[in-house]
Structure 1
Amino acid sequence: METGFYTQAELRKRKRGITVLIVFAALIVFAFMISMNTGYIRLSPSVLLRTLFGMGTEKQNLILFDFRLPRIVISVLIGAGLAVSGCVMQGISRNALADPGILGINAGAGLAVTLFISFYPTTAAAPVFLLPVLALVGAGLTATLIFTLSYKRHQGLSPTRLLLTGIAVAAGISAAMIVLTLKLSPDKYQFVATWLAGSIWGTNWKFVIAILPWIVILLPFVFIKARVMNVLNLGEQIATGVGARVNKERLLLLAAAVGLAGSCVAVSGGIGFVGLIGPHLARRLVGPKHELLLPAAALAGALLVITADTLGRWVLQPSEIPTGIVVAVIGAPYFLYLLAKTKS
């Protein structure tokens, strides 16, 4: 039986998907509230509300608006950006293990940032806004290298070759970064080491402003391309047969994915596995249709990073565990599970 343009089964799946999106959004709001109250100095719910409405003390305003809120907002933005980037890469490569971290895209962005830090002081004002651009250049060059090495004229893009090439390139870039860090001054070395561990080091509103345009522009662009990604998933021959400009669309989507990954890595450091876990979790809950999969992946990634960052700040107070390490504790076993389940 059909209702409008959707069958009853499709309507049920759509309603379930919308319900999942609402639940994810509610969990993010809950995690947001918990995160605002997590730290060495606690703010009770009543104090938190008073401070949010401008009735807090100078110290409470400093803690909430200058330290915690920028970091929490950045956590949500980079979680959404990395997850959608991973979802796009999985879609255009048809590789369930594709992820900006595993494929070496994050490493390329990190190399560009490390090179820049090697020649400029980390406290300079200009790098805050230059870092996303530099990370994008590094990520773009790395993506171009990986896809060039992986693509065969008569065989197309092999998922296995793509994964192995990405891992090899990432290993080479990591080795180059180690050599670079050995020549850094102690203060810069400490900064780079913390950054590579996946610490959300951009904890003021300048970094929010630096990353926000990339997220605001690229996420809607990818969402608009949801139907195109559905067609691309049918295979290159079928997609071409129905009129899709396969190569052009792949290039545009790859550029958007690299832009998202590069800009996020610039302010979050080497946080891996978000682009792997977010899309897989979303796919299990809402199905493979990208109209719901992409926003669900964005919300799942945002929830994962804000939760990991909150746990990292809470477990060893007053010290903190880098967010990337907390995510890796979750992501590494899940990656091994997916690798074991993958048949090709």
Structure 2
Amino acid sequence: MSSLIDVANRKRSVRAYTMISILAAAILIAFLLSMNTGHIRLSPSDVIHTFFGQGTSKQELILFEFRLPRIIISVLVGAGLALSGAILQGLSRNALADPGILGINAGAGLAVVLFVSFYPTNLAAPVFMMPLLAMVGAGLAAGLIYSLSYKKGIGISPTRLILVGIAVAAGISAAMIVLTIRMNPQNYQFVAVWLAGSIWGTNWKFVFALLPWIVVCIPFVLYKARTLNVLHLGDQIASALGTRIEKERLSLLVAAVALAGACVAVGGGIGFVGLIGPHLAKQLVGPKHQYLLPASMLTGGLLLIVADTLARWILQPTEIPTGIVVAVIGAPYFLYLLAKSKA
């Protein structure tokens, strides 16, 4: 019997690694296609020649200063938001948990709007401070939502968590709209673009502002994959297995909030990636977090880079915000999951 179980586990592992490899290859293909997409088209040969220093100054400017930073940010933001969603779904045991739906993105957005109200967005120091401030805003929103959702003797109901998150997100969004009324035209234009979910950070300083948070948080979360498996079984079983529940839950929640806050600060108000990414990944590799977490990151990165490429291609020479493309996919999918939910 044990040998049959071992064989089945090996087959699942091989299948999971195969799907992860396919997702990685799909991101690479999407990356190459995205470099060729835009108002000024660069053919694959132009891209290759430019990479090896044989392109024109105009091609180098388009590729290295405009497209590459935006593409890299799309992948990082998609991976970060999807990983944050996977953590929240694992901790809450709620299939509908997502940093956007729960209001965490809105909290980060409010911090960004407050920051933009007082500092120009084109200065280097404020750009690097934005992820930190967004994380603080996201953390405050998460704490508020948790406290309002918790009922003594009952804990947190999945449905109550979703409803409270939506209500808090709506209230924060209303506060952001009020703040924009008093802004000067330049800052107002920035906030309007940001709220629509546009990948607005199109230069390397935004990549470097986001990268440290990704580099620190992702390895930590992947290291905690087995802990998430145990926490997903419920508090009683996790406690019986010797897990320090509150400590582990808090550390993972901080990582989820940090990822969501940093990604929102740089990528804008993009929703549903944290919902769709983990669900699609679970269909591909199963529920074990050793495979689910990396698959979620790759799925989220692939989703956002494809959405951003479509946003730049559909209405050339103009473009539509990436968040709108994601919402067109994500909103119906959320309603579908809500209809399936038994909570």
TM-score range, shorter chain: over 0.9
Deviation at 1:2, TM superposition (A): 4.2
| Structure 2: gaps (5+ residues) | none
Deviation at 1:125, TM superposition (A): 2.2
What is the TM-score normalised by the length of structure 1?
Answer: 0.98
Residue identity in the other structure for 2:149: S
- 1:145-188 alpha-carbon deviations (Å, 9 max, x no partner): 11111122322222112111111110110110110111111221
Partner of 2:336: 337
CA distance in structure 2 between the partners assigned to 1:253 and 1:152 by the alignment: 22
Provide the identity percentage: 70
Deviation at 1:53, TM superposition (A): 1.4
Partner of 2:50: 51
Distance 1:56 1:236, change over 3 A: same
Partner of 1:24: 23
CA distance in structure 2 between the partners assigned to 1:215 and 1:67 by the alignment: 21
CA distance in structure 1 between the partners assigned to 2:339 and 2:152 by the alignment: 29
How do residues 206-221 of structure 1 correspond to structure 2 at under 5 angstroms? 206-221=205-220
Residue identity in the other structure for 2:131: P
Residue identity in the other structure for 1:85: S
Between stretches 8-17 and 107-116, larger displacement belongs to 8-17
CA distance in structure 2 between the partners assigned to 1:123 and 1:237 by the alignment: 50
Residue identity in the other structure for 1:97: L
Partner of 2:127: 128
Residue identity in the other structure for 2:284: L
CA distance in structure 2 between the partners assigned to 1:23 and 1:12 by the alignment: 16
Residue 61, structure 1, aligned to residue 60, structure 2: yes
CA distance in structure 2 between the partners assigned to 1:190 and 1:177 by the alignment: 14
How do residues 101-116 of structure 1 correspond to structure 2 at under 5 angstroms? 101-116=100-115
Distance 1:29 1:154, change over 3 A: same
Partner of 2:167: 168
Residue identity in the other structure for 2:215: V
| Structure 1: gaps (5+ residues) | none
Partner of 1:36: 35
CA distance in structure 2 between the partners assigned to 1:250 and 1:79 by the alignment: 23
CA distance in structure 1 between the partners assigned to 2:78 and 2:185 by the alignment: 30
Residue identity in the other structure for 1:129: F
CA distance in structure 2 between the partners assigned to 1:3 and 1:58 by the alignment: 62
Partner of 2:144: 145
Residue identity in the other structure for 1:299: L
CA distance in structure 2 between the partners assigned to 1:218 and 1:94 by the alignment: 21
Partner of 1:255: 254
CA distance in structure 1 between the partners assigned to 2:164 and 2:89 by the alignment: 15
- 1:30-52 alpha-carbon deviations (Å, 9 max, x no partner): 00000000001111111110111
Partner of 1:196: 195
Residue 297, structure 1, aligned to residue 326, structure 2: no
CA distance in structure 1 between the partners assigned to 2:174 and 2:39 by the alignment: 36
CA distance in structure 1 between the partners assigned to 2:102 and 2:280 by the alignment: 19
CA distance in structure 1 between the partners assigned to 2:3 and 2:196 by the alignment: 51
Partner of 1:187: 186
How do residues 205-284 of structure 1 correspond to structure 2 at under 5 angstroms? 205-284=204-283
CA distance in structure 1 between the partners assigned to 2:226 and 2:155 by the alignment: 22
Deviation at 1:190, TM superposition (A): 1.2
CA distance in structure 2 between the partners assigned to 1:125 and 1:94 by the alignment: 40
SS at match of 1:321: coil
The answer to whether the 8 Å contact 2:124/2:205 transfers is no
